Amino acid sequence: MSGTFGSIGSAASALRYHQSVMEVASGNIANVSTDGYARRRVVGVSVGAPVQPAMWSRYDGQGEGVRIGSVDRLVDPLLDARARREHGAQSYLDTRAAALARVEASLGEPAGDGISKALADVRNAWHDLGNSPDSPAVRATVISTSRTLVDAVAAQRRNVESEEADQRMSLLADLGETNTLAADLAAANEAVAAAKLGGNDPSSLLDKRDLMAMRLAELTGGTAVENGQGGLDVTVGGVALVSGSKAGALAVTAGINPDGTSDGQPLALSLTPPGGAATAVSGLRGEIGGAAELLTTTLPGLRDEITAIAQQLADTVNAVHQSGYDATGAAGQQFFAVDPAAEGGPLVLLVDDAADIAASGIGGGANRDGGNATAIASALATPERSYQRFVTVFGTDVASVRRLADTQLTLTSQVDGAREQLSGVNLDEETVTMMQAQRAYEAAARVMTTLDSVLDTLINRTGLVR
């Protein structure tokens, strides 16, 4: 049997508890659309009998009311880790898909003014020259269409190069963001540890910590593991980027000058872990991984293929052109050269004078034969087919990356949905919780009133006879 005022204590604990419940509900409602906010839930614990009240005594009360067991932040670390992984993969694929789609749009194929149109014009010009090899106008057309073809190939290479320049700039920007975020995350880790030691609620710090870890995963594809002190340790490419309250730094060691231009070497990244030596890292995911892949493999590959097609074109035309004879009956010269370093390259037009075009297939002085021009027109079919194959393969690559990104998006949004299910704030739920707490609070207050009147009876009325 507890003391006279025991129940008042219980009612007071209920008032305190339900006030906290309403406070937390209002916090949840306030943050319904806050990014990275995980809903909180008050866990009540009934205060019961002490296990061992005192020596030689026993507890005969009915409990001491309620107290706040904990305020839980509803997250699932496994789900968070999964979400970080999927987001890393997603941003990697998105970066690639966006860059490839830009390059693809600039191809101008299959029906635009791309290389295939220029090639078709050149072929027709050679055919026309075969029909009228003596016409200066037709000879000039061959030169001008060839020049257009050279420009079209150069434009293609420039498109790839400017995409490379963009990717280099965005890679540098991403690296800066990564290093800043890593330092911020390290600071947040320290603050979480301090808050836990001081007994403060670290929930909002944890929200921030998770947000930063997610962004780091999107940038680098790094994995984060919770350490003993409530912080997140981030590992990128097998090397620690954030370890407790210390952050490392990710840097470019080769491939990009500080001003964003290329230094001509293959791209290399290194990560200096906290208190360690710089280690080369590769195979990153996320935006940086996507940009690095584009810069090391995809875009240089495209550039090489364009050069290879130019080379084939030059070889094909040169071989036939050199076997022919120009307007004066002299043997044909080289028509094209390939110089990847040239200003308007990789294809360079060597014949400038229309009279130097070797239209005739018959030597021994000037004549009006157009056999060689027709032969060149037919020979152009080979480089044309190579170019068509290049466009098709590239289109397949773009479609496949886009499909992968779409599939990944389904996965990512599924994981995001699962996280939202667990951590998101539901207004109805909060309203119900609030009403429940309100009613419980009213009831506890009612208990107070009842007890008051009971005590009134006991104190003021006992023994009085009317």
Partner 1 sequence: MTIGRVTQSMLTDRSLSRLQGSLSRLSELQEHLSTGRVLNRPSDNPADAASAMRLRSAVGAQQQYARNAEDGMGWLDTLDSTLGTAGDLVRRAREVGQQAVSGAASQDTREALAVEIEQLRSSLVGTANTTYLDRPVLGGTTAGTAAFAEAGGVVTYAGDANPVNRAVAEGVVVDVAVAGPGAFGPDGDNTFDHLTALAAAIRGGSTTAIQSGLDALEVDGSRLVVARTDVGARSSRVEQAGIRAGDTELSLTNALSEIENTDLPLATVELKMQEVAYQAALAATSRVLQPSLLDFLR
**Residues 322, 332: Cα–Cα separation, whole Å:** 4
Among positions 20, 262, 323, 388, the unique one binding partner 1 when judged by CB under 8 A: 388
Cβ contact 244:232 at 8 Å: no
Q: Considering the rule CB under 8 A, would residue 365 count as an interface residue with partner 1?
A: yes
Question: Of 184, 177, 175, 173, which is closest to residue 246 (Cα–Cα)?
Answer: 184
Q: Considering the rule CB under 8 A, would residue 78 count as an interface residue with partner 1?
A: no
Of 334 and 378, nearer to partner 1 (C-beta) is: 378
Beta strands in 24-86 (DSSP E): 40-46, 66-73
Of 256 and 306, nearer to partner 1 (C-beta) is: 306
**Residues 203, 268: Cα–Cα separation, whole Å:** 38
Among positions 417, 446, 449, 453, the unique one binding partner 1 when judged by CB under 8 A: 417
Of 127 and 246, nearer to partner 1 (C-beta) is: 127
Provide the 3-class DSSP secondary structure of residue 270.
Answer: strand
The token pair at 23 is 């406070």
**Residues 62, 47: Cα–Cα separation, whole Å:** 9
Of 133 and 221, nearer to partner 1 (C-beta) is: 133
Stretch that binds partner 1, among 147-155, 208-216, 228-236, 359-367 (CB under 8 A): 359-367
- Crossing angle of helices 6-30/427-456, nearest 10°? 160
Among positions 421, 449, 450, 457, the unique one binding partner 1 when judged by CB under 8 A: 421
Among positions 84, 85, 123, 215, the unique one binding partner 1 when judged by CB under 8 A: 123
Q: Considering the rule CB under 8 A, would residue 378 count as an interface residue with partner 1?
A: yes
Q: Give the per-residue contact string, 427-446, with partner 1 (x = CB under 8 A; - = no).
A: xx--xx--x-----------
**Residues 270, 93: Cα–Cα separation, whole Å:** 22
Question: Of 219, 252, 251, which is closest to residue 234 (Cα–Cα)?
Answer: 219
Residues in the chain: 466
The interface with partner 1 within residues 288-347 (CB under 8 A) comprises: none
> What is the binding site for partner 1 (CB under 8 A)?
32-33, 101, 104-105, 107, 109-111, 116, 119-120, 123-124, 127-128, 130-132, 134-135, 360, 362, 365-371, 374, 377-378, 384, 388-389, 391-396, 398-399, 402, 413-414, 416-417, 420-422, 424-428, 431-432, 435
